[in-house]
Amino acid sequence: MHLLVALLILPVSVSIVLSNIGAGEFGHRCPVRPNEDGSLFLTLEMNNGSTKVHKKAFAGCVGLQALTISKQLLEIGEQAFYGCGQLKSIVFEEPSNIHTIEYEAFAFNLNLSTIVNSPSSLVKIGDSAFYGSEKLEHFPFESLPVLRNIGHNAFYRAGLKGPLNFQAGLAKIDGQAFYLTRNTTSVSFAACQGAKGAEKTLQYIGKCAFCNSGIHSQTVFLPRGVRFFTGKPKEATFNNTVSLKACTMDMNDASTSPTAEPIEHQETHNEL
């Protein structure tokens, strides 16, 4: 393990250059000391070809308040920033090259409220990645064109407000991904918005993915062919007050608007 503290002269900011941080390298303690008031502002930069922050590398850094992730970084490992209770903001240096945020990478960061810049290269958000982020009101799904997978419990009980707008690359949303997101008011998918080439991407939305969310008493349009669940409250993909319809359209004609077809109510998974 090689760790270089690149900047220690500023009283409120620490920049760390990482050449190779291994799994559990620091256990549940910070690799650098926080300021006297307990705060820590951390900038991660990569060195010597390293592109990943490994499992539990910074788990339990309770004084960490702000995190900047450099564009060299490709992957944030399991529980890398788990339980950083004072973490309030994450800045992705542009252009971001992050493609994977793994299991519980930012879980139980109860004060996380701000994501600065869109990690537009992001492909996978792992299981429980942002579990319990109750103050996180916005995540830039609308600016993630190649995002394909959102894991189980990924945003469980997150504070996400307003609409969620998913782009053309999204293929799978696992069960309970947005469970108890009470401030989420609506959801839309690129294939039902006329996005060219998006009609066959979304394949699966798991059990209770959006149940007990703030999406009530409205129509949700789903691309044809997607698998989802209806029926029992603890299994249905959406709240049972939601009306589900299939959108169909001529994707070669940009002037064509989506049309809706009703979806029959069933107790098991559905395929449009």
Q: What is the pLDDT of residue 157?
A: 96
Q: What is the pLDDT of residue 41?
A: 65
Mean pLDDT of the chain, nearest integer = 79
Q: What is the pLDDT of residue 191?
A: 74
Three-class secondary structure of residue 94 per DSSP: coil
pLDDT-derived band at 110 (thresholds 50, 70, 90) equals very high
The total of other beta-carbon atoms located within 10 Å of residue 99's CB is 17
- Choice among 42-56, 57-71, 115-129, 171-185 with the minimum mean pLDDT: 42-56
Q: What is the pLDDT of residue 23?
A: 46
Residue type, 151: G
- CB within 8 Å of 37: residues ≥ 6 apart: none
Question: Which of the pair, 154 or 63, is modelled with greater confidence?
Answer: 154
Question: Which of the pair, 31 or 231, is modelled with greater confidence?
Answer: 231
Q: What is the pLDDT of residue 270?
A: 61
Distance (Å, rounded) from C-alpha 126 to C-alpha 56? Answer: 15
Q: What is the pLDDT of residue 49?
A: 67
Mean pLDDT value across residues 87-92: 92
Phi-psi category of residue 68: left, alpha or beta, with phi > 0 → left and psi -120 to 50 → alpha? beta
69 contacts 94 by C-beta, under 8 angstroms: no
